A and B are shown apart, each in its own frame.
Chain A
């Protein structure tokens, strides 16, 4: 759902990036250098961009002066003509030197065209450099995401990672695309303009420079205020959007608790705050331009007066003063642009820093342990003296032992939130144990490649994650080299085939992100079929508790029990039938394993499990 305020188009039709202000990098130069090292493939291109941008800008700056010479030439002709008229001569046509003007115009056209071509080439190259650089940066980030341990995912919010991958990446792309060239051209324009003005008259130049402090004052006074209001606007907008999202998503709650009036008044209050902040933000940012123009006009008038006097005195030509006036108008633009750029670039480097922070996270450790393989170990899985706890937390297992023979089923039970996923984390090596050993077929799992290890397993979780793609591709996800027949057979075994055939696009139906085109139960069936396709030796299964209809639930149970047949399995169990049939039951509470044994052993123990088991019959009639 769209949450952010509308951003300026990607370099499209202008518009500032108001939301960028406020973030400052910790180590500006280090990060900048690192970002530039990302462009090392393009250093030649960057050099071309630099040279062309400077050249193009220089031509652009020089032309008014040269075109001004044409005016001077015209004026000279007029003066001569008027003088001749005054002397009583009849002048049909003022004696303007058209050859010279033609010459000047040709040069000017040449310079304009050259400048345009250079500017185009420069932009063209820069586009390629910036987009490709960000392409590689994105690719690296994605690459990094596959090397990070699961603990990184578990300890960082998705929203935060997404914001780095999307917003921060966007900032960098935009800045590389537009602002680097802007930085070059603005600097060149500023220096060039001053230089050109100096060649005309240093006195007038000094005069023109007088307006610089004035424009700086305008920028210095107005810009921070505008940032302040924009920040307030952004904040209000965020709160308001949250309010809308929350209220609409909870409209059932709103209605059933008669909360409409309160919601409306809260919304109006926030909306009013947004209005106040946003009109002020618009106002303040809107007056910068007129103010700068006013300052500019003041300079212009000053120069016209002083310059006019100079022309009259003959110390300066008319063409020159005309050109000088044009320079005066161009002159404040790069100043305010550079001031803006300083903010944008800082924010961009801060963005780059956030991305590099992820890239610098430690990878999954390559752990080899000195535990010898046990050849012809009959056990499928052997956990011995396992010690485990999440980083920075107490140990959850201190000395845990469990043997699982081929074909056995282990049930994991416990109240809601007892940490049943910990076992899955350890088996799949999403987390590594702190001590002891988990052996698969006699080999410590840490001495196996993670890929090798995981090849033995398939998972069916309650969180029915499927990717946005066709149903067929989602099934094939289980095993890359699965044949078409194997996939269809798996779909049939998991009762997927039946409903897929009723969909208009069959197996080519694209599952969307929310998968609203199929039901939750059907999603579950697809994940089971996916595990069928994987055809693993060991199965990890999380039984569904979420509400699916009875028929689908029966199908799920049926498919799951078929899948379990002949495989070693770990089942997070909610169903009595599953639990009772298990060869071993791991009972968990508050993150740790409290008991292990068969159903009967645990009942006899009269411990936590017995209590848990018996409690379900209180208060209900016998069926």
Chain B
């Protein structure tokens, strides 16, 4: 954790917080001394003026204490929350520049947790450190010193009390902490079963398994409750035990004190003051024991954040980027080999294709044949192992990623929209797009009808992930969004899969007929032969290798894999032979 925070903490601020804390602790510790003075010097001697004088001193000290406390809280809040903000910014900026490789390696949901919860953990612990954790040792040292100074013989009481305290804390924490961890798992399980009951309600009822579900939930509920009973029973022991230890200490001090006073070895006021110091010493111990609960948790979070920050992005811009001419468009893959991170086998082997502006390249093949991998090479989401991808005659590694991606519009397999309005979503790739241009794109994407039905047009709200739209609607909106972006290469990665025949056909027809697309390169990845058949060139992929490349007619003659695919779909297609 130290490694993560050391460069991010303002030294002056932290020093200030510590100094304020020292002042606060000293002020707090001198209060019992003044109280003792009131009793010893004031009350015993019947000196009311002295009592008042000491009283004024006490008010002064209280004021110092509160000012110091405010200073400490102010700095601690700003430093800890500032640390959280900086860490979040750093992690977010780092992750957003990750290539797909790094996203695959760490996993999206883990990255989300690291950016949000893990940083919060660190931030909260930092607040606690700057407030309580530095207060505890300072108080411990100060109070011990003062207690010893008051009466070194009474300090013997700690020989008995502290070991007891440590043993009790160790035993209770030792048994509670694993149960707390287990509680988290059992809570997750409880939530999971309940949520499945919601998402699967139709299936559950159709198969008449309501009772099974009720039992399943009851099991999770019982496990959770039993664990909670254990945890809280331990806590039920803990608090009375702590109170007992503290009260016991007071009783012990009174007994020892009475003897010492009788022997004239100390004074009554000293004993009273000693009791106060003793309480502060024990409280500090308790606070310090919290370190063992919170710091390991933050430590784990810190390790996970460090991993994110240390991970190097594979795909970087060239040192001297070349310019990209955009008068004419072309796309070429030349002897491309690709292998996933740490994979044994090549995911793509010796791929060679070439298309010019105005042409359509279609890619067909089974799942796992490498279709998506291939199209992800075009905007440099992954880098080729050997060989070269070039657009407009320039190797894409020689130009900036931004320049490249300006020219490529990709509609991914899983369409994702963002929370906001439809207009914002459509302008995602082109902030200057006019409403007319957006409507035109929606028309081509066969999306304007259902958008008009909402009655709000481009102001239609889009929920997170676009979840207020059906799968097919989302795909069409994602297509429209890509069309709004004025690129020169359009890539549709299986983007028509959730559409019915009619919509699919209309969309492709209009796309082909649109004058804007005349000199553009279109790449279509598909599963249906009917989707790819009209392309200028079809690439048939099988296990990452080219199993055919040419027109529909040619492939029907010379590609066995393509023939298989056609045959399997003709059986279902039937009348499509017409």
Residue B5, interface by CB 8 Å: no
Give the distance to chain B from A396, nearest Cβ to Cβ, in Å.
16
A457 and B206 contacting across the interface, CB-CB below 8 Å: yes
A162 and B116 contacting across the interface, CB-CB below 8 Å: no
Residue B366, interface by CB 8 Å: yes
B201 and A127 contacting across the interface, CB-CB below 8 Å: no
| Top 7 A-B residue pairs of the complex, sorted by shortest distance between their CB atoms | A549-B367, A123-B236, A616-B501, A290-B69, A619-B509, A549-B366, A312-B46
Give the distance to chain B from A480, nearest Cβ to Cβ, in Å.
7
Query: Given A127-B229, A240-B116, A305 and B405 touching (CB < 8 A)?
Result: no
Query: Given A256-B409, A257-B428, A278-B81, A101 and B501 touching (CB < 8 A)?
Result: no
Within 8 A of A (CB), among B48-92: 48, 51-52, 54-55, 58-59, 62-63, 65-66, 69-70, 73-74, 76-78, 80-82, 84-85, 88-89, 92
Give the distance to chain B from A93, nearest Cβ to Cβ, in Å.
5
Pick 13 A–B contacts, CB within 8 A, sort by A: A70-B258, A75-B268, A112-B248, A127-B232, A132-B225, A138-B217, A242-B419, A251-B98, A312-B42, A312-B47, A550-B366, A619-B506, A621-B534
Within 8 A of B (CB), among A245-284: 245-260, 263-264, 267-268, 271-272, 274-275, 278-280, 282-283
Complex CA–CA separation, A616 to B117 (angstroms): 50
Chain B residues with CB under 8 Å of A384's CB are none
Give the distance to chain B from A60, nearest Cβ to Cβ, in Å.
7
Residue A369, interface by CB 8 Å: no
Query: Given A6-B124, A13-B290, A258-B406, A577 and B572 touching (CB < 8 A)?
Result: yes
Complex CA–CA separation, A545 to B504 (angstroms): 12
B261 and A96 contacting across the interface, CB-CB below 8 Å: yes
Complex CA–CA separation, A256 to B493 (angstroms): 13
Within 8 A of A (CB), among B92-137: 92-93, 95-98, 100, 103, 108-109, 111-113, 115-117, 120-121, 124, 127, 131
A458 and B218 contacting across the interface, CB-CB below 8 Å: no
Residue B254, interface by CB 8 Å: yes
Within 8 A of B (CB), among A299-346: 300-302, 304-305, 308-309, 311-312, 318, 321-322, 325
Pick from B73, B95, B250, B257: contact of A74, CB under 8 Å: B257
Give the distance to chain A from B47, nearest Cβ to Cβ, in Å.
8
* CB nearest neighbor in A for B567: A623
Mask: chain B, 390-416; 1 = CB below 8 Å from A; 0 = not:
000000000001100110111011001
* CB nearest neighbor in B for A148: B201
Mask: chain A, 506-523; 1 = CB below 8 Å from B; 0 = not:
000000010000010100
B239 and A123 contacting across the interface, CB-CB below 8 Å: yes
Query: Given A145-B197, A251-B98, A11 and B235 touching (CB < 8 A)?
Result: yes
Complex CA–CA separation, A291 to B229 (angstroms): 37
Query: Given A267-B89, A547-B494, A162 and B195 touching (CB < 8 A)?
Result: yes
Give the distance to chain A from B491, nearest Cβ to Cβ, in Å.
9
Chain B residues with CB under 8 Å of A294's CB are 62-63, 65-66
Within 8 A of B (CB), among A542-588: 545-554, 557, 574-578, 580
Residue B432, interface by CB 8 Å: no
Residue B450, interface by CB 8 Å: yes
A271 and B508 contacting across the interface, CB-CB below 8 Å: no
Residue B148, interface by CB 8 Å: no
Chain B residues with CB under 8 Å of A617's CB are 505, 576, 578
Query: Given A252-B412, A546-B497, A616 and B202 touching (CB < 8 A)?
Result: no
* CB nearest neighbor in B for A134: B225
Residue B283, interface by CB 8 Å: no
- Among the 9-residue stretches B158-166, B346-354, B433-441, B465-473, the one with 4 or more Cβ atoms under 8 Å from chain A is B465-473
Complex CA–CA separation, A119 to B73 (angstroms): 34
Chain B residues with CB under 8 Å of A577's CB are 571-574
B115 and A308 contacting across the interface, CB-CB below 8 Å: no
Residue B568, interface by CB 8 Å: yes
Residue B309, interface by CB 8 Å: no
A245 and B500 contacting across the interface, CB-CB below 8 Å: no
Chain B residues with CB under 8 Å of A143's CB are 214
A465 and B199 contacting across the interface, CB-CB below 8 Å: yes
A131 and B229 contacting across the interface, CB-CB below 8 Å: yes
Pick from A98, A248, A297, A430: contact of B108, CB under 8 Å: A248
Residue A67, interface by CB 8 Å: yes
B293 and A615 contacting across the interface, CB-CB below 8 Å: no
A547 and B367 contacting across the interface, CB-CB below 8 Å: yes
A158 and B214 contacting across the interface, CB-CB below 8 Å: no
Give the distance to chain B from A557, nearest Cβ to Cβ, in Å.
7
B43 and A417 contacting across the interface, CB-CB below 8 Å: no
Residue A459, interface by CB 8 Å: yes
Complex CA–CA separation, A480 to B222 (angstroms): 23
Residue B6, interface by CB 8 Å: no
B55 and A305 contacting across the interface, CB-CB below 8 Å: yes
Chain A residues with CB under 8 Å of B257's CB are 74
A546 and B498 contacting across the interface, CB-CB below 8 Å: yes
Give the distance to chain A from B150, nearest Cβ to Cβ, in Å.
16
A478 and B183 contacting across the interface, CB-CB below 8 Å: no
Query: Given A112-B247, A242-B464, A263-B96, A282 and B572 touching (CB < 8 A)?
Result: no
* Most chain A C-beta atoms within 10 Å of own C-beta, residue among B31, B47, B418, B576: B418
Chain B residues with CB under 8 Å of A248's CB are 95, 103, 108, 111-112, 115
Interface of chain A: mostly helix, strand, loop or mixed = helix
Chain A residues with CB under 8 Å of B429's CB are 256-259
B405 and A258 contacting across the interface, CB-CB below 8 Å: yes
* Most chain A C-beta atoms within 10 Å of own C-beta, residue among B96, B250, B472: B96
Pick from A13, A244, A298, A615: contact of B502, CB under 8 Å: A615
Give the distance to chain A from B201, nearest Cβ to Cβ, in Å.
5
B258 and A454 contacting across the interface, CB-CB below 8 Å: no
Residue A41, interface by CB 8 Å: no
Query: Given A251-B103, A415-B503, A622-B577, A301 and B410 touching (CB < 8 A)?
Result: no
B208 and A455 contacting across the interface, CB-CB below 8 Å: yes
Pick from B77, B100, B225, B241: contact of A282, CB under 8 Å: B77
Chain A residues with CB under 8 Å of B236's CB are 120, 123-124, 126-127
Residue B3, interface by CB 8 Å: no
Complex CA–CA separation, A11 to B179 (angstroms): 13
Within 8 A of A (CB), among B418-461: 418-419, 428-429, 450
* CB nearest neighbor in B for A173: B228
B59 and A279 contacting across the interface, CB-CB below 8 Å: no
A70 and B261 contacting across the interface, CB-CB below 8 Å: no
- Among the 9-residue stretches B139-147, B319-327, B331-339, B525-533, the one with 4 or more Cβ atoms under 8 Å from chain A is B525-533
Complex CA–CA separation, A12 to B410 (angstroms): 50
Within 8 A of A (CB), among B133-192: 176, 180, 183, 190-192
Chain A residues with CB under 8 Å of B465's CB are 246, 249
B199 and A620 contacting across the interface, CB-CB below 8 Å: no
Pick from B115, B198, B405, B531: contact of A158, CB under 8 Å: B198
* Most chain B C-beta atoms within 10 Å of own C-beta, residue among A250, A321, A325: A250
Within 8 A of B (CB), among A120-157: 120, 123-124, 126-128, 131-132, 134-135, 138-139, 142-143, 145-146, 150, 153
Residue B514, interface by CB 8 Å: no
Chain A residues with CB under 8 Å of B531's CB are 620
Residue B559, interface by CB 8 Å: no
* CB nearest neighbor in B for A72: B268
Pick from B31, B80, B251: contact of A297, CB under 8 Å: B31
Within 8 A of A (CB), among B1-32: 24, 31
Complex CA–CA separation, A250 to B207 (angstroms): 36
Pick from B69, B202, B575: contact of A150, CB under 8 Å: B202
Pick from A73, A166, A275, A416: contact of B82, CB under 8 Å: A275
B410 and A252 contacting across the interface, CB-CB below 8 Å: yes
Residue B200, interface by CB 8 Å: yes
A580 and B574 contacting across the interface, CB-CB below 8 Å: yes
Residue A161, interface by CB 8 Å: yes
B529 and A623 contacting across the interface, CB-CB below 8 Å: yes
Residue B304, interface by CB 8 Å: no
Give the distance to chain A from B500, nearest Cβ to Cβ, in Å.
5
Residue A1, interface by CB 8 Å: yes
Complex CA–CA separation, A163 to B271 (angstroms): 55
Mask: chain B, 360-373; 1 = CB below 8 Å from A; 0 = not:
00000011110000
